[in-house]
């Protein structure tokens, strides 16, 4: 361990030289990824732990920090970690998905060099390959505002991370085998709050004080609803945007989404239920935690608070009530309303329709009929080394084709500094959740039925939130505006993990001909090489 530290210190010095923003603070993490016994639903399972923890340790950072994470893969399978919503400006080299990085082989390590440039907010990290996410390996990722930037609420007495989501008793290799054989996943076996099922976790508060809860849905297959018995929640942040501070009794959080609420401990000093439950499922799963007032005189009383179950309109109305506070600052001191997203000319409209085709006798998932399959070399590396035959730009159409599904390593080309309107069209009867790496997008509209150009008349061009993960309700559409301001190879994916695994994803290649460090960083000197990239030098 000692020599590892010395080596690591030397390596860090090297990295300091590589990183362009030497003046911003550095934070170092050493992570050992192992299998270990966990009991999330009361029964022993083999989970993926980081430094012995499930969920993994939280990353606590401040805008512009450099984050250096050395990941040692002690599993028996190749492994990568990705950063949900943490943007990697100019640096898709660090994105940690199949299309950008070679997997870390078993028994080896890789050091990620991230900078949380011009960002604030609540996010999480997760293992991106091979359905590992169903075994754990995820954790919170907070980016606080710099001390000189005003935040539109008083500092909370404490800041709690809640990672909630559905969970399966089958392990990730069994779940993978089900999907590989062409079948659907079973219904999940339970819900977890910070790695535990019912009555596992206790959050202790002082009467009269106000607390921030950062809540992420880290699950595999279902939207969730979050609520606290007897307490109102004041929404303050959604994926890095300070919102109008509306109060809610309960809030829906779709797959891959994160948000923050403030909760004031303004009730008698007892224990209260914190509840999550599944949304839009015929069977409703729930999990409990406890909000405990310090000096609580009594246990929990009454039934856990009920929440919405299958109601779609309720959720749609709530989503529309999430608005940007135009006068609050974001990562910079200027107000969030100073970027007039509604006044910028759209350079391209892209319509993306999800589907569930059977291809070669197996269940697959697709977007515009294309079901993504990995190639033998990460796309970013193939692009960098000009390796032919790995992927074709333009293999992902801009519009639904109406055709059946087919398999392809799909990459869509896009011009740096373009301004795209993307319409996610869902003609299936299930909720979708879409994520775009490296970018934040403005959620300008969502509604039931089929999108048409006339739908633009009802877009919110004033004060909608921007985020990185958005839901699309059953038989509905969601439209977003995306500033294509980050050069790189970026994953666009379903956050429903079976859909992602079986092809409902593609890569967006945001391209600048300038070939300049101002637009994109060069390949890192420690980049792992694999497939047809072996033998090349950065």
Ligand X SMILES: *[C@@H]1O[C@H](CO)[C@@H](O)[C@H](O)[C@H]1NC(C)=O
CB of 317 to ligand X, least distance (A): 19
Chosen residue from 327, 347, 392, 458 binding ligand X by CB under 6 A: 327
288 touching ligand X, by CB under 6 A = yes
At 3, which helix (H) or strand (E)?
A: helix 2-18
CB of 307 closer than 8 Å to CB of 275: yes
- Binding letters toward ligand X, positions 21-40, x by CB under 6 A: -----------x-x------
Instruction: Name which of 74 and 267 has its Cβ closer to ligand X.
Output: 74
CB of 453 to ligand X, least distance (A): 16
CB of 335 to ligand X, least distance (A): 8
CB of 287 to ligand X, least distance (A): 6
Instruction: Name which of 97 and 275 has its Cβ closer to ligand X.
Output: 275
Instruction: Name which of 167 and 434 has its Cβ closer to ligand X.
Output: 167
Chosen residue from 46, 176, 348, 456 binding ligand X by CB under 6 A: 46
CB of 174 to ligand X, least distance (A): 5
Q: Rounded to whole angstroms, how far apart are CA atoms 60 and 158?
A: 13
- Binding letters toward ligand X, positions 72-101, x by CB under 6 A: x-x---------------------------
Q: How far is CA 339 from CA 19, 344, 463, in A?
A: 29, 9, 11
Token pair for 335 = 């107000």
CB of 502 to ligand X, least distance (A): 20
526 touching ligand X, by CB under 6 A = yes
CB-CB neighbours of 1 under 10 Å: 5
CB of 52 to ligand X, least distance (A): 7
CB of 171 to ligand X, least distance (A): 4
Please report, as residue ranges, which positions from 407 to 426 form the binding site for ligand X (by CB under 6 A).
none
Q: If DSSP states are collapsed to H, E and C, what string results for 276-327?
A: EEECCCCCCCEEEEEEEECCCCCCECCCCCCCCCCCHHHHHHHHHCCEECCC
Residues that contact ligand X, how many (by CB under 6 A): 27
CB of 139 closer than 8 Å to CB of 86: no
CB of 525 to ligand X, least distance (A): 9
Evaluate the omega torsion of the peptide bond into residue 55 and state whether it is cis, within 30 degrees of 0: yes
- Binding letters toward ligand X, positions 141-160, x by CB under 6 A: -----------x--------
Q: Rounded to whole angstroms, how far apart are CA atoms 438 and 153?
A: 28
225 touching ligand X, by CB under 6 A = no
Please report, as residue ranges, which positions from 165 to 224 form the binding site for ligand X (by CB under 6 A).
171, 173-174, 198-199
Task: Tell me the sheet residues that pair with 419.
Answer: 483
Instruction: Name which of 119 and 288 has its Cβ closer to ligand X.
Output: 288
Token pair for 3 = 């020599």
Instruction: Name which of 38 and 287 has its Cβ closer to ligand X.
Output: 287
18 touching ligand X, by CB under 6 A = no
Instruction: Name which of 304 and 413 has its Cβ closer to ligand X.
Output: 304
Task: Tell me the sheet residues that pair with 140.
Answer: 124
Judged by CB under 6 A, which stretch of 249-257, 281-289, 394-402, 504-512 contacts ligand X?
281-289
286 touching ligand X, by CB under 6 A = yes
Beta-strand runs (E) in 54-108 = 59-62, 66-73, 81-84
Return the residue matching tokens 């047809």.
532
Q: Rounded to whole angstroms, how far apart are CA atoms 470 and 458?
A: 18
Q: What is the DSSP letter of 166?
A: E
464 touching ligand X, by CB under 6 A = no
Instruction: Name which of 4 and 517 has its Cβ closer to ligand X.
Output: 4
Token pair for 196 = 């535990």
Q: What is the DSSP letter of 132?
A: G
461 touching ligand X, by CB under 6 A = no
Please classify residue 107 by burial: count the beta carbons closer than 10 Å to its beta carbon, then call 0-12 exposed, 13-18 middle and 19+ buried.
exposed
CB of 149 to ligand X, least distance (A): 11
Instruction: Name which of 77 and 447 has its Cβ closer to ligand X.
Output: 77
Q: Rounded to whole angstroms, how far apart are CA atoms 170 and 189?
A: 9
CB of 156 to ligand X, least distance (A): 15
Q: What 3-state class would DSSP assign to 180? A: helix
- Residue 133: phi and psi, rounded to 5, are -55, -30
345 touching ligand X, by CB under 6 A = yes
Instruction: Name which of 329 and 408 has its Cβ closer to ligand X.
Output: 329
Judged by CB under 6 A, which stretch of 308-316, 320-328, 471-479, 495-503 contacts ligand X?
320-328
Instruction: Name which of 237 and 383 has its Cβ closer to ligand X.
Output: 237
245 touching ligand X, by CB under 6 A = yes
Q: What is the DSSP letter of 146?
A: P
Instruction: Name which of 191 and 316 has its Cβ closer to ligand X.
Output: 191
Chosen residue from 91, 250, 325, 469 binding ligand X by CB under 6 A: 325
Please classify residue 479 by burial: count the beta carbons closer than 10 Å to its beta carbon, then call 0-12 exposed, 13-18 middle and 19+ buried.
buried
CB of 365 closer than 8 Å to CB of 503: yes
DSSP per-residue letters across 312-374: HHHHHHHHHT-BB-TTSB-SSSSBGGGS-GGGSPP-EEEEEEEE--EETTEE--EETTEEE--
- Give the binding site for ligand X (CB under 6 A): 4, 7, 32, 34, 46, 72, 74, 109, 152, 171, 173-174, 198-199, 244-245, 286-288, 304, 325, 327-328, 343-345, 526
């Amino acid at each position: 361990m000692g020599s590892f530290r010395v080596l690591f210190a030397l390596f860090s010095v090297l990295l300091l030289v590589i990183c362009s923003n030497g003046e911003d603070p550095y934070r170092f993490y050493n992570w050992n990824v192992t299998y270990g016994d966990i009991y999330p639903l009361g029964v022993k399972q083999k989970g993926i732990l980081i430094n012995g923890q499930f969920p993994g340790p939280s990353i606590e950072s401040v805008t512009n920090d450099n984050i250096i994470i050395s990941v040692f893969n002690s599993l028996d399978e190749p492994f990568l970690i990705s950063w949900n919503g943490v943007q990697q400006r100019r640096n898709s080299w660090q994105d940690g998905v199949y299309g950008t990085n070679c997997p870390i082989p078993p028994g080896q390590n890789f050091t990620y060099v991230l900078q949380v440039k011009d960002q604030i907010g609540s996010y999480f990290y997760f293992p991106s390959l091979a359905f590992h996410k169903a075994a754990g390996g995820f954790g919170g990722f907070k980016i606080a505002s710099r001390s000189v930037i005003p935040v539109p609420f008083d500092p909370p007495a404490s800041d709690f991370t809640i990672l909630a989501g559905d969970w399966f008793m089958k392990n990730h290799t069994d779940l993978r085998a089900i999907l590989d054989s062409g079948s659907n996943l079973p219904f999940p076996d339970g819900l977890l709050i910070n790695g535990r099922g019912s009555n596992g976790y206790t959050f202790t508060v002082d009467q009269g004080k106000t607390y921030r809860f950062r809540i992420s849905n880290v699950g595999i297959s279902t939207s969730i609803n979050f609520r606290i018995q007897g307490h109102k929640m004041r929404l303050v942040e959604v994926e890095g945007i300070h919102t109008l501070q509306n109060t809610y009794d309960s809030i829906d959080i779709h797959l891959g989404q994160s948000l923050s609420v403030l909760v004031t401990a303004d009730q008698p000093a007892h224990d209260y239920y914190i509840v999550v439950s599944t949304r839009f499922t015929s069977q409703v799963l729930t999990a409990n935690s406890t909000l405990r007032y310090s000096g609580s005189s009594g246990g929990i009383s009454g039934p856990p608070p009920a929440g919405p179950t299958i109601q779609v309109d309720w959720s749609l109305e709530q989503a529309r009530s999430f608005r940007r506070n135009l006068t609050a600052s974001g990562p910079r001191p200027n107000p969030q309303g100073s970027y007039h997203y509604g006044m910028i000319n759209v350079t391209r409209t892209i319509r993306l329709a999800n589907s569930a085709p059977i291809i070669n006798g197996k269940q697959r998932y697709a977007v515009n009929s294309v079901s993504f399959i990995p190639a033998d070399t990460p796309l970013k590396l193939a692009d960098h080394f000009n390796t032919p035959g790995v992927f074709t730009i333009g293999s992902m159409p801009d519009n639904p084709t109406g055709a059946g599904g087919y398999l392809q390593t799909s990459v869509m080309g896009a011009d740096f500094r373009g301004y795209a309107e993307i319409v996610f069209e869902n003609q299936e009867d299930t909720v979708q959740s879409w994520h775009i790496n490296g970018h934040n997008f403005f959620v300008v509209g969502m509604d039931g039925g089929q999108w048409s150009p006339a739908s633009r008349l009802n877009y919110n061009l004033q004060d909608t939130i921007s985020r990185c993960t958005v839901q699309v309700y059953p038989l509905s559409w969601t439209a977003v505006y995306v500033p294509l301001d980050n050069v790189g190879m970026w994953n666009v994916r379903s956050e429903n993990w079976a859909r992602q695994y079986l092809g409902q994803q593609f890569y967006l290649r945001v391209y600048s001909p300038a070939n300049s460090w101002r637009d994109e960083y060069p390949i890192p000197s420690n980049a792992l090489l694999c497939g047809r990239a072996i033998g090349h030098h950065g």
